[in-house]
A and B are shown apart, each in its own frame.
Chain A
């Protein structure tokens, strides 16, 4: 009998690995100076990281409220 089993959500694992690599590799660059006396690396890491985390979480809730992927 064919079983309807889950598929590994590779996109989520890849997103997490990319996130980790982004944070780790960003520290290896010499960034040019940016606004408010900070280098651009600090701004980029803050905006992209917090942006990804918050937007991903909001999208997750919105999709859930539409009833997608519920048990």
Chain B
């Protein structure tokens, strides 16, 4: 098939292959440091500030950031700025509201997963509900992300879909299965630098081509005066829904990202990690904010605006530098895939199998099983990506919203509200997820769309509100947990 890179595809492919091999070797090297499930799930709580911060940020960003956000920025111009900034606020919002507290609690009760925390704080049922929702709504994300990686290689450098899928799947499954959180976090760190490097090559080049910022703005104004303003192309409700979702709701909606709070060396490291994450995300989202409008000016006839970043790179950069940028895009995908793999593996191995089927497992046995579960989940994701079925695609569309609806308030209450009860948390998770899915169903019934909602109300915002109210009401109606059982959670 015709690809975007064209003649430079050899250079680009070589850089991409070097990047893939480097990632794979790093994962295999780090696997030697894994001795038990503590090491596999939370890296033995040894992650430093840069690794924790970059890992959080790289996980939170996916193909949607590098491809989709730039495309939306090209369509909406500077109307997209507030939404773009809200993604930068995700580490800040999650760190300051629950991050530090969750890390402290995890240390005190020796929790390796959110399931551990939910069971100790609420009840075994809360752990089970959490694990089932993760498996149902996050594991299918693997298929979508594998598919995105293969599509990118297919469109950009002309690789066939299935071989590209096989390469992306093998590399990610091997380094995550071998090295767990350590492999996940250190490859995220490298992937973060690759992403920054890719953008730092591209931004000055394309701005220079557009004649500088002022000239670019003049050209943008000539296309549509609303593109250089903060408003005019979007509604306030659309901005509000996006801003809430990309900042505050990441607490529950991105468990694969907030999971790594448990792996930081200590609270002080976690605070330093916040600075790393914010700087990293600021660089990426400022770049996204500039690339979108510049792409609109330089590529006015581009039909699929999601291809703005790769087409800009292929048009204006040397093929080797395009290879770095392509690696950055693949890195964004892989950093999300490895974290979802680890999240799914921990939910199946520890929260379901270890807790409810084989409670006598040693940490060493648990790690071995977690490795195999990682491989099995990865192969399942690969299999669904080869021939995606409708049900999987729906699960992917719903995953963030369902997670945000179900988990946000039970996590916040774990940190700050001693009166919350097990029954309240379970009712809150179930009602939040159910109301979110109901709203999607209603949207489909009325508009035949999963992105246009009745009254403009986002399913995640409705779900999180229902979850909060139900958790509070059921908790107040049920018997409180004894104070001595809560001491580890609320002691200063």
How many CB-defined contacts (below 8 Å) exist between A and B?
148
User: Which B residues lie within 8 Å of A61 (CB)?
Assistant: 271-272, 274-275
Report B's interface with A, CB cutoff 8 A: 78-79, 81-83, 85-86, 88-89, 92-93, 96-97, 101, 104, 107, 213-214, 217-218, 221, 228-231, 234, 236, 239-240, 243-244, 247-248, 266-268, 271-272, 274-275, 278-279, 282, 286, 289, 415-418, 483, 487, 490-492
B492 touching A5, Cβ below 8 Å: yes
A27 touching B88, Cβ below 8 Å: no
A28 touching B236, Cβ below 8 Å: yes
The count of chain A contact residues (Cβ–Cβ below 8 Å) is: 44
Complex-state Cα separation, A61 to B234, whole angstroms: 37
Q: Can you list 6 A-B pairs, Cβ within 8 angstroms, ordered by A?
A: A3-B483, A23-B85, A30-B229, A46-B289, A49-B82, A70-B267
Minimal beta-carbon separation of B439 from chain A (angstroms): 20
B490 touching A64, Cβ below 8 Å: no
User: Which B residues lie within 8 Å of A60 (CB)?
Assistant: 96, 271, 274-275
Report A's interface with B, CB cutoff 8 A: 3-6, 8-9, 12-13, 15-16, 19-20, 23-31, 36-39, 41-42, 45-46, 49-50, 53-54, 56-58, 60-61, 63-65, 69-71
Taking CB as reference atom, which chain A residue is nearest B235? Answer: A27
B228 touching A39, Cβ below 8 Å: yes
Minimal beta-carbon separation of B25 from chain A (angstroms): 33
A12 touching B239, Cβ below 8 Å: no
User: Which B residues lie within 8 Å of A39 (CB)?
Assistant: 78, 228-230
User: Which B residues lie within 8 Å of A4 (CB)?
Assistant: 491-492
User: Which A residues lie within 8 Å of B247 (CB)?
Assistant: 16, 19-20
A57 touching B278, Cβ below 8 Å: yes
A38 touching B490, Cβ below 8 Å: no
A41 touching B104, Cβ below 8 Å: no
Taking CB as reference atom, which chain A residue is nearest B243? Answer: A23
